[in-house]
Structure 1
Amino acid sequence: MNTVDALVQLSFRIQRILSDTGGEHDLSLVQMRLLGVLRDRQAGMLELAAHLGLDKSSMTGLVGRAEKRGLVRRAPSPHDGRAVVVTLTAHGHDLAARCTAEIAGRVTAFTEPLPQDQRTALTRLATALLSADARSAGS
């Protein structure tokens, strides 16, 4: 298997872990990503839309559905009276933490057959690729 095939197949496997975990909590993949982004911060709608790769109307619908489920809340931005910031509710934090723990367990089980030195190398290589991508996206 070549590098492209291996990475694509790996991404499919990880996406399945994420989708399966989300499905067990009635969350779509993009809803899971929203919870993940908001785990440790609040964010404005435009920031969230850019981070999730969504347009404004899709972002409004996503946040509205999450708000109806009691996962997030919107509040006026302290810096711009026309804008809002989105934060997780206590229920949203709890669900995000549970999903994070379940995903961690499933990914750990998936990588368990690898010896520790290979898991360490995989982490190092994935981190290097993501760092290089972030640097190129910023320029």
Structure 2
Amino acid sequence: MSTDNLVDGLAQTSFVITASLSRIGAENDLSLTQLRVFGILRDRERLRMSTLADLLGLEKSSLSGLVDRAEQRGLVERAPNADDKRAVDVALTPSGQELATRVYGEVTEALRPWIDRLPKDDQHMLEHLLWRLLEP
């Protein structure tokens, strides 16, 4: 496989995944970025706003607006960081956790047909390779 084919394959895969995520987000009144926020917070008890901003590649002010809107919907809550009172943590509320879990299930179902095209051994290999690509 040439580098061009690999780049094209990665780009096409990202388009399919982004389309699924965008559709699921819209069905749940979430932007793609808000969906990413829920995906990050789903497996964490609390996270510093600054860390969340870094993970998303956003300025703190942009993240503040996203968190404000989710907080108004009762999906997240802010609290002072236990170790640094100047820092603010954000966490999913029970409603937010329920939404994040449901949306994750919807994403899994949307991507399942693509995953199931591969034999189990190839699925494990792809998982391994994807995580290697994502290593810092």
Same fold (TM over 0.5): yes
| TM-score, length basis structure 1 | 0.88
Counterpart residue number, 1:10: 13
Matches of 2:131 and 2:79, distance apart in 1: 34
Counterpart residue number, 1:28: 31
Unaligned 5+ runs, structure 2: none
Percent sequence identity is 48
Please list every run of at least 4 consecutive aligned residues from structure 1 whose deviation after the TM superposition is greater than 4 angstroms: none
| TM-score, length basis structure 2 | 0.90
Q: Shift of residue 79 of structure 1?
A: 1.6
Q: Over aligned residue pairs, what C-alpha RMSD do you find? A: 1.3
Unaligned 5+ runs, structure 1: 135-139
Matches of 1:127 and 1:36, distance apart in 2: 16
Q: Shift of residue 78 of structure 1?
A: 1.4
Counterpart residue number, 1:137: none
Give the total of aligned pairs.
Answer: 132
Matches within 5 A, 1:1-139: 2-41=5-44, 42-131=46-135, 134=136
Matches of 2:117 and 2:110, distance apart in 1: 13
Matches of 2:87 and 2:11, distance apart in 1: 38
Which residue type is aligned with residue 20 of structure 2? I
